[in-house]
A and B are shown apart, each in its own frame.
Chain A
Amino acid sequence: SQELEQSPQSLIVQEGKNLTINCTSSKTLYGLYWYKQKYGEGLIFLMMLQKGGEEKSHEKITAKLDEKKQQSSLHITASQPSHAGIYLCGADEFRTYKYIFGTGTRLKVLA
């Protein structure tokens, strides 16, 4: 079965610092989604990547999917306390009709 592993598991950064979260798949990705979950709330969709080499940005968050479509990174520029939460990558598992999710990255931003 396909697995998604995120790194790091948790991250504490000072406000204003840049950071990167990685999501590595054990198999080729056919659609990679990034979500954010604030503590005590549901998932918020951030971005979807489908093509190798694709890069998307929204405000201060940029997500990339590598050419081989097995790894994605989420980069936050000049982090703010509002960026705090759990970041999650998710994907459709090829041919099994299952949803798989990454292990999650818990981000804290210190003011």
Chain B
Amino acid sequence: SAVISQKPSRDICQRGTSLTIQCQVDSQVTMMFWYRQQPGQSLTLIATANQGSEATYESGFVIDKFPISRPNLTFSTLTVSNMSPEDSSIYLCSVEGGSSGYTFGSGTRLTVV
């Protein structure tokens, strides 16, 4: 199965600033998924990122707030823009692993102060 390197693992950011989260996969994958988990809640899918096309965002998430890049088949970034304390969450990237199902990054724990 694929191995994902996600960074940073955690960060504390000032409100109004932006943070870019990176995910590097050790193999080429078509689709990458970005999730958010707010404190005490389940994972929520933010968007699906395909290489060569714009990301598809789920209801409640917009590109201006969560711009995503997918420059190639092994890499993607998610930016959390103009952050507020409500953005404090864990952010996860994920890829399908073919016969092994799926793989997740280790997560980025974001605290906005």
**Residues of chain A at the chain B interface (Cβ within 8 Å):** 31, 33, 35, 37, 40-45, 48, 86, 88, 90, 97-99, 101, 104, 106
Q: Which residues of B contact A (CB under 8 A)?
A: 10, 31, 33, 35, 37, 40, 42-45, 48, 58, 90, 92, 94, 96, 100-102, 104, 106-107, 109
A41, closest chain B residue (CB): B48
Question: Is B43 a contact partner of A33 (Cβ separation < 8 A)?
Answer: yes
Are B37 and A42 within 8 A (Cβ)?
A: no
**A9 vs chain B, min Cβ distance (A):** 9
Instruction: Tell whether, in the assembled complex, residue B102 and residue A88 are in contact, meaning their CB atoms are under 8 Å apart.
Output: yes
Partner of B109, one of A31, A97, A106: A97
Tell me the complex Cα distance, A88–B35, Å: 15
A45 surroundings in chain B (CB, below 8 A): 42-44
Within the complex, the shortest CB–CB distance from B74 to chain A, in Å, comes to 19
B50 to chain A, nearest CB (A): 10
Expressed in whole angstroms, the Cα–Cα distance for A31 and B90 within the complex equals: 15
B101 touches A43 (CB 8 A): no
Q: With A97-B10, A106-B101 in contact, do A40 and B96 touch (Cβ < 8 Å)?
A: yes
Contact B43 A35 (CB under 8 A): yes
Q: Which residues of A contact B107 (CB under 8 A)?
A: 98-99
A42 touches B45 (CB 8 A): yes
Chain B minimum-CB-distance residue to A99: B107
Give bound CA distance, A41 to B45, whole Å: 10
A33, A86, A90: the one within 8 Å of B101 (CB):
A86
Are A99 and B90 touching (Cβ within 8 A)? yes
Contact of A42 with B106 in the complex, beta carbons under 8 Å: no
Q: Are A90 and B43 in contact (CB under 8 A)?
A: yes
- Whether B94 pairs with A99 at a CB distance below 8 angstroms is no
Q: How far is the CA of A106 from the CA of B37 in the complex (A)?
A: 24
Q: Are B106's CB and A98's CB within 8 A?
A: yes
A42 & B101 in contact (Cβ 8 Å cutoff): no
Question: Closest CB of chain B to A100's CB: distance in Å?
Answer: 9
Q: How far is the CA of A98 from the CA of B40 in the complex (A)?
A: 14
